[in-house]
Amino acid sequence: MGYIVASDHAGVRVKTLVVEHLRACGIEVEDLGTSAKKPVDYPDMALAVAHRVARGDAASGILVCGTGIGMSMAANKVPGIRAAVCRSCYEAKMSRAHNDANVLCLGERVTGLGLIEEILSVWLDTEFEGGRHERRVEKIRALDGERRA
């Protein structure tokens, strides 16, 4: 299963880099845009990706805005989504290994392009550890159930 990516106008450069990186790794990518400088609202882009990931259409999603924060706030409203803003390789590793994050959020105005490539590589290479973390992630999933009720 591939990846679904999107950005707002503040994240186009990094999204382009992400798409190229994923394709170079042989990963199938669906790019939902935006590809222009014309402003778009980050919640619209975040929800487009989050709903598809929650439905199981993709292994993971990647969202880019100016800070990554707005994207993560919006994406985390969708049941089944565990979106993590990562500004370091350590956060990328832990968000996968311990939190089983399924959406990576990046901030083009915060994190340099070189570091973003490293973060992406770590994210792609790290599996969820399960074990004691399974119980904790299950408690997050239970919150999704409460919101649906």
The single residue of 21, 51, 89, 98 carrying the catalytic annotation is 98
Least distance CB 76 / ligand RB5 (angstroms):
13
Closest to ligand RB5 by CB, 100 vs 105, is: 105
In sequence order, the β-bridge partners of residue 31 are 5
Q: Is 106 helix (H, G, I), strand (E, B) or coil?
A: strand
Name residues contacting ligand RB5, limited to 40-99 (CB under 6 A): 42, 65-67, 69-70
Q: Is 139 helix (H, G, I), strand (E, B) or coil?
A: helix
Closest to ligand RB5 by CB, 32 vs 124, is: 32
Least distance CB 66 / ligand RB5 (angstroms):
3
* Sequence-ordered list of residues with C-beta below 8 angstroms from that of 35, at least 6 positions apart, any chain: 12
**111 is a site residue for ligand RB5 (CB under 6 A):** no
To which H or E segment does residue 65 belong?
Answer: strand 60-65
- How many Cβ atoms are within 10 Å of 1's Cβ, its own excluded? 11
**Is 89 assigned a catalytic role?**
no
Q: Is 46 helix (H, G, I), strand (E, B) or coil?
A: helix
Phi/psi at 51 (5° precision):
-65, -40
**Is 98 assigned a catalytic role?**
yes
Least distance CB 119 / ligand RB5 (angstroms):
17
Q: What residues act catalytically?
A: 65, 98
Binding site for ligand RB5 (CB under 6 A): 8, 10, 42, 65-67, 69-70
